[in-house]
């Protein structure tokens, strides 16, 4: 996303979160590390650097209170921060966006800066879902829809109409590792090549925040789990490095498909 912004002639300033972002992925130029809770520092530096648009990328797992470094501005926002801690991710992120807007920043989605990372409709790569896969995809989407009011369940694995795994706090990588384990231990006996990983945004989710994301590691996890492929909602899913994803999918014989969003 930063590269896409740079290609558009925008200057980019990075604010990785200590304890959540991987230091190996950041240089020192235009990079200001924040502890979670340093809202005042963020506002001061971002204004100083001339930032107007703010893109939030990635997931913050719910922190312990002891991890927070609340500065003065964050303390002033504390009643709202406490409310943000009630309920699931949606509330937390929704509050972050509202606070950003109040402080004079324009919170935009990564896909507005880098539309090329949005999943298109149809397949990336050469493989496409079979009729059984499509039926598994429909059933998994219905399951994820049923879970949506609980701020959970952006991913599920459905194999021949049988739900093998439902994602909650563990994240998609651990979900896929579990499916691989369940197959290896014989607890799940669906043949290799049957089953689909389906990811969908939560209903009512703010598209500027926390869209489902897939990448090469997702393709590799799906291959290890012995599944047929990956289905996501087109235009509502971020694909990190789409060409690499297509190449990995082709090499593994896996489909990666974007389903048209349902109008509701």
Question: What value does the CA radius of gyration of the chain take, rounded to a whole number of Å?
Answer: 20
The answer to whether the Cα torsion of 148, 152, 154, 158 is positive or negative is: negative
Assess 191 for contact with a copy of itself (CB under 8 A).
yes
Question: Using the rule CB under 8 A, which residue among 119, 165, 219, 249 binds a copy of itself?
Answer: 165
Assess 150 for contact with a copy of itself (CB under 8 A).
yes
Assess 168 for contact with a copy of itself (CB under 8 A).
yes
What residues from 42 to 101 belong to the interface with a copy of itself (CB under 8 A)? 61-64, 67, 86-88
Could you tell me how far CA 163 lies from the centroid of its own chain?
21
Assess 141 for contact with a copy of itself (CB under 8 A).
no
Assess 149 for contact with a copy of itself (CB under 8 A).
yes
For residue 137, how many C-alpha atoms fall within 13 Å in the half-sphere facing its CB? 23
Fill in the per-residue mask, 193 to 222: x = in contact with a copy of itself (CB under 8 A), - = not in contact.
------------------------------
Residue whose CB is less far from a copy of itself, 27 or 187: 187
Question: Using the rule CB under 8 A, which residue among 182, 194, 238, 256 binds a copy of itself?
Answer: 182
Binding site for a copy of itself (CB under 8 A): 61-64, 67, 86-88, 139, 142-143, 146-147, 149-153, 156-157, 160-171, 174, 178, 182, 186-191
């Amino acid at each position: 996303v930063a590269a896409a912004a740079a290609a558009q002639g925008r200057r980019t300033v990075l604010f990785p979160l200590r304890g959540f972002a991987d230091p190996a992925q950041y240089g020192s130029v235009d990079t200001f590390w924040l502890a979670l809770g340093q809202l005042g520092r963020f506002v001061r530096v971002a204004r100083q650097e001339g930032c107007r648009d703010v893109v939030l990328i990635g997931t913050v797992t719910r922190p312990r209170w002891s991890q927070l470094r609340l500065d003065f501005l964050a303390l002033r926002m504390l009643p709202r921060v406490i409310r943000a801690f009630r309920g699931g991710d949606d509330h937390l992120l929704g509050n972050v966006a509202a606070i950003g807007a109040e402080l004079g920043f324009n919170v935009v989605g990564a896909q507005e800066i880098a539309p090329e990372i949005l999943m298109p409709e149809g397949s990336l790569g050469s493989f496409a879902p079979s009729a059984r896969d499509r039926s598994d995809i429909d059933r998994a989407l219905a399951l994820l829809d049923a879970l949506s009011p609980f701020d959970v369940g952006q991913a599920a694995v459905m194999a021949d109409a049988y739900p093998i795994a439902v994602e909650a706090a563990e994240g998609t990588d651990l979900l896929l590792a579990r499916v691989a384990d369940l197959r290896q231990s014989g607890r799940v006996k669906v043949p290799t090549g049957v089953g689909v990983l389906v990811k969908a945004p939560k209903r009512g989710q703010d598209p500027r925040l926390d869209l489902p994301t897939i990448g090469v590691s997702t393709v590799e996890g799906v291959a290890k789990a012995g599944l047929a492929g990956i289905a996501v909602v087109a235009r509502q899913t971020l694909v990190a490095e789409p060409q690499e994803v297509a190449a990995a999918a082709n090499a593994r014989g896996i489909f990666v498909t974007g389903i048209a969003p349902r109008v509701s």
